[in-house]
Amino acid sequence: MCSRESTMAKRAILMLLPTLLGIALTQENFYGESLSFRSLQKKKDGTVQVSFYYRENGRGSCKDQLSYRCEIGYCNNTEDSKPVLTDSSSSAHEQWCQSEGQARVAPLNNHSLVLKDTGCCWPPNVHGKTKWMAGGKLDLGYRSDTHTYNKIPVTATVAYLRVPQNCFTKLRLLAYDPDGDHVRCLFASTSVDSKVTLDENECTIKATGLLDVGLHVFELVLEDHPKRDVNLTYDDGSSSEKKAFNIHSGIHSTPFSQIYLQFTLQILYPAHNCIAGHVVPQYLLPTASHGDVRQASVGERFQLHIHAQASETKIMDFQISGPQNMAKKMTTGTLGNASVILNWTPALNDLYRLVPVCFTAETYESQSEMRCVIVMVTRSSTSEGKAVVKCSATQMTVSLEKNSMDGIDKNWLNMNDPSCSMSSNDTHIMATMSFNTCGTKLESHEAESGMDWDKNLARDFGMERPFMRPRE
**Which residues make up the interface to ligand NAG (CB under 6 A)?**
76, 106-110, 144, 229-231, 235-236, 241, 284, 309, 333-335, 337, 399, 425-428, 430
Residue 264 phi, psi dihedral angles, 5° rounding: -120, 155
Beta carbon nearer to ligand NAG, 186 or 341: 341
Using Cβ positions, the residue closest to ligand NAG within the complex turns out to be 236
Phi, psi torsion values for 445, nearest 5 degrees: -65, -30
CB of 388 to ligand NAG, least distance (A): 7
Are 9 and 455 in contact by the 8 Å Cβ rule? The answer is yes
Strand partners for 116: 135
**Residue 98, number of CB atoms within 10 A of its CB:** 28
Alpha carbons 239 and 179: distance in angstroms, whole number: 19
Taking the complex as a whole, how short is the minimal distance between the CB of residue 446 and ligand NAG, in angstroms? 26
In whole angstroms, the minimum distance from the beta carbon of 256 to ligand NAG comes to: 14
Shortest approach of ligand NAG to residue 150 CB, angstroms? 14
Minimal distance, residue 339 CB to ligand NAG, in Å: 9
Residue placing its CB nearer to ligand NAG in the complex, 127 or 228? 228
Q: Tell me whether residue 145 or residue 365 sits nearer to ligand NAG (CB atom).
A: 145
The distance of closest approach from Cβ of residue 22 to ligand NAG in the complex, given in angstroms and rounded to an integer, is: 14
Please count the residues of the chain: 472
Contacts of 364 (CB under 8 A, 6+ apart): 93, 94, 313, 314, 316
Query: Which residue, 106 or 211, has its beta carbon nearer to ligand NAG?
Result: 106
Contact 327, 343 (CB under 8 A): yes
Q: Which is nearer to ligand NAG, 76 or 421 (CB)?
A: 76
Q: Which is nearer to ligand NAG, 109 or 295 (CB)?
A: 109
User: Closer CB to ligand NAG, residue 194 or residue 425?
Assistant: 425
Closer of 32 and 107 to ligand NAG (Cβ): 107
CA distance 373 to 33: 17
Tell me the closest approach of the beta carbon of residue 109 to ligand NAG, in angstroms.
Answer: 5
b/e burial code for range 43-53 (CB count within 10 A of at least 16 → b): eeeeebbbbbb
Q: Closest approach of Cβ 397 to ligand NAG, in Å?
A: 8
- For ligand NAG, the closer of residues 51 and 86 by Cβ is 51
Q: Which is nearer to ligand NAG, 186 or 244 (CB)?
A: 244
Q: How far is the CB of 346 from ligand NAG (least distance, A)?
A: 28
Q: Whose Cβ is closer to ligand NAG: residue 231's or residue 325's?
A: 231
Nearer to ligand NAG, 212 or 229 (CB): 229
Name 57's bridge partners: 98
CB of 165 to ligand NAG, least distance (A): 28
